[in-house]
Amino acid sequence: MTTANKLTILRVILIPVFLVLLYLGFPGCRWAALAVFIVASLTDLLDGYIARHYNQITDFGKFMDPLADKMLVMAAMCYLVEVGEMYGWVLALVLLREFAVSGMRLVAVEQGRVIAAGWSGKVKTASTMVCLCLMLVVPLLWLNLLCQAVILVSTLYSGTEYLVKNKDVFKSA
């Protein structure tokens, strides 16, 4: 197993640790959860760099890396919705985008085509992770609303871009 893939697996393992820390509710647990979230988020940057720089790109990594990102982000967003610090409809739109893009990728694979992650998708992931960090550490209403707006705009933009650029996938489906 490659180093890049081990980092991806570490990110998945850190998700329940992150959630347990959030739900413990002891003083300082939210800060500890934030630290775990940051470490997990940074493994995304590191595993991508290692995979490209050391030629460790694998089919497992192509599948699992974006899935691990989605799992981490969705875990944090579900928690924030549950505690009333994020609107459920924002989470719903993010989920809809993820299902639409993933579905499109599945159709493309059936056609022997791979749809690589675009720049807007990378910006969406990075901005979402930064916003979630801010929302976890500074539960201010105006900041939460601003972060939700950033998450929403980057999500809708990147989803629209993926679907428009690859609409031909559906023509032959």
Burial of 163: CB neighbours in 10 Å, binned 0-12, 13-18, 19+: middle
CATH number of the structural domain 3-171? 1.20.120.1760
Distances (CA, A) of 68 to 10, 24, 167: 9, 23, 26
Instruction: State in Å, rounded, how far the first CA of the chain is from the last one.
Output: 35
Distances (CA, A) of 12 to 16, 77, 89: 8, 16, 25
- Answer whether residue 72 shows pLDDT above 90: yes
Model pLDDT for residues 8-65, shown as the tens digit of each residue: 999 999 999 999 999 998 889 999 999 999 999 999 999 999 999 999 999 888 889 9
pLDDT computed for residue 40 by the predictor: 98
Model pLDDT for residues 96-106, shown as the tens digit of each residue: 999 999 999 88
Model pLDDT for residues 117-147, shown as the tens digit of each residue: 789 999 999 999 999 999 999 889 999 999 9
Distances (CA, A) of 18 to 88, 148, 150: 20, 21, 23
Domain ranges for the chain, please list them.
Answer: 3-171
Beta carbons within 8 Å of 98's beta carbon, 6+ residues apart: 70, 74
pLDDT computed for residue 118 by the predictor: 86
**Whose structure tokens read 């982000």?**
73
pLDDT computed for residue 173 by the predictor: 62
Model pLDDT for residues 160-169, shown as the tens digit of each residue: 999 999 999 8
- Answer whether residue 116 shows pLDDT above 80: no
Beta carbons within 8 Å of 113's beta carbon, 6+ residues apart: 169
